[in-house]
């Protein structure tokens, strides 16, 4: 394993856009601190500590009220860092866990009590060693009431994953819209395939997140201010406004170059959700339904 990496901006700017009161950052993570919550032996990157104090400081700086903390792959199936952050949030955070599919009902109930409302299946080969679909289906069928499944995949395996995802009977939340090539534009092949997938059920949600990953100079994009992302994603948000979530993705796992300014990420919000009504759905109403329904 190489040196520990810092993947976040040290002094993010203050956004020009002000989120509405109660806005939720519905995709972010914590790393460690390692002394309390060691990283997994199977971690594909080893980050510097980015614990709850830093996350909550950023939340306040950016003008958000709450966080949904998604267990990052570097912590494997040990959810203690995520649970610890939720416990320290004074009710202002909930989370998504990554579990061993053999997890017991009692352990799932403990996660629920700790603020977890979903589990994540990660299909990115650069992040995880294996993604056993049969075991994932088994655990997805016995989740606590009201939970959902978050799935992270790249556009080139959407079709291959369709039978697997169709077999999951709880709501699905797709990270970063399944990573479309935003340079293709709003009517490109990747967006068309993703829309067809959304149209197949009415309980598939998605995160309009990560312009920094999807429009990166390193990948042939234009970089900040991520115009191709805004152009490709705004129609999707408008057409599926009751199913969209938004998040910073802080502390931007695994980004070792083109680290985004979080203030600039927040300024993407009015570009993909131009009206107050759309912003309210994306930042408040939709995440409340998935994470604070009770
Ligand atoms: C993200 C994206 C990435 C990493 C992880 O769990 C993770 O390590 O999700 C990535 O490298 O694309 O959503 O945080």
Q: Does 11 map to a domain? A: no
Is the Cβ–Cβ distance between 147 and 170 less than 8 Å?
yes
Any atom of ligand 1 within 6 Å of the Cβ of 73: yes
Q: Does 3 map to a domain? A: no
Any atom of ligand 1 within 6 Å of the Cβ of 241: no
Measured distance CA(199)–CA(219) in Å, rounded: 29
* Farthest-apart Cα atoms in the chain, separation: 48
Any atom of ligand 1 within 6 Å of the Cβ of 234: no
Q: Does 13 map to a domain? A: no
Q: Which residues pair with 24 in a beta bridge?
A: 66
Atom of ligand 1 minimally distant from the CA of 72: 6
Tokens of 78: 């040990």
pLDDT of residue 1: 52
Q: Does 189 map to a domain? A: yes
C-alpha 72 to ligand 1 mean position (Å): 6
Q: Does 100 map to a domain? A: yes
Distance of CA 106 to the CA centre of its chain: 26
- Is there a catalytic annotation at residue 113? no
Q: Does 80 map to a domain? A: yes
C-alpha 73 to ligand 1 mean position (Å): 7
Predicted model pTM: 0.98
Output phi, psi for 157, to 5 deg.
Answer: -115, 10
Measured distance CA(70)–CA(82) in Å, rounded: 7
Q: In what order do the strands lie in the sheet with 116-122?
A: 24-28, 66-70, 93-97, 116-122, 148-152, 172-174, 204-207, 244-245
Dihedral-angle region of residue 147 (phi above 0 means left; psi in -120 to 50 means alpha; beta otherwise): beta
Any atom of ligand 1 within 6 Å of the Cβ of 127: yes
Question: Which domain, by its residues, includes 144?
Answer: 24-291
Q: Does 160 map to a domain? A: yes
Is the Cβ–Cβ distance between 254 and 31 less than 8 Å?
no
Number of domains in the chain: 1
Q: Does 6 map to a domain? A: no
Find the CATH number of the domain harbouring 286. Answer: 3.20.20.140
pLDDT of residue 3: 87
pLDDT of residue 256: 84
Give the residue, by CA position, lying nearest to ligand 1 atom 13: 249
Residuewise pLDDT in 10s, the chain (294 residues) = 568 999 999 999 999 999 999 999 999 999 999 999 999 999 999 999 999 999 999 999 999 999 999 999 999 999 999 999 999 999 999 999 999 999 999 999 999 999 999 999 999 999 999 999 999 999 999 999 999 999 999 999 999 999 999 999 999 999 999 999 999 999 999 999 999 999 999 999 999 999 999 999 999 999 999 999 999 999 999 999 999 999 999 999 999 889 999 999 999 999 999 999 999 999 999 999 999 999
Residue keyed to tokens 């020009």: 16
């Amino acid at each position: 394993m190489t040196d520990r990496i810092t993947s976040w901006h040290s002094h993010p700017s203050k956004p020009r856009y002000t989120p509405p009161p109660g806005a939720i950052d519905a995709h972010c993570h914590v790393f460690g601190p390692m002394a309390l919550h060691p990283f997994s032996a199977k971690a594909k990157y080893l980050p510097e500590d980015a614990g709850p104090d830093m996350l909550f400081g950023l939340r306040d700086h950016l003008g958000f009220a709450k966080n949904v903390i998604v267990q990052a792959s570097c912590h494997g199936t040990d959810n203690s860092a995520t649970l610890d952050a939720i416990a320290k949030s004074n009710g202002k955070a909930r989370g998504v866990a990554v579990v061993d599919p053999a997890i017991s009902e009692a352990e799932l109930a403990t996660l629920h009590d700790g603020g977890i409302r979903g589990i994540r299946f990660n299909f990115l080969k650069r992040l995880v060693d294996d993604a056993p679909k049969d075991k994932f289906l088994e655990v997805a069928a016995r989740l606590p009431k009201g939970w959902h499944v978050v799935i992270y995949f790249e556009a080139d395996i959407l079709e291959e994953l369709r039978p697997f995802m169709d077999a999951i009977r709880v709501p699905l939340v797709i990270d970063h819209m399944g990573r479309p090539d935003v340079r293709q534009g709003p009517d490109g092949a990747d967006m068309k395939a993703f829309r067809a997938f959304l149209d197949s059920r009415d309980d598939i949600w998605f995160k309009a997140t990560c312009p920094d990953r999807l429009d990166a100079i390193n990948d042939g994009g234009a970089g900040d201010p991520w115009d191709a992302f805004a152009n490709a994603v705004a129609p999707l948000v408008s057409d599926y406004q009751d199913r969209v979530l938004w998040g910073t993705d802080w502390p931007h796992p695994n980004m070792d170059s083109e680290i985004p300014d979080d203030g600039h990420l927040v300024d993407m919000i009015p570009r993909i959700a131009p009206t107050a009504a759309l912003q309210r759905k994306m930042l408040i109403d939709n995440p409340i339904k998935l994470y604070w329904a009770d």
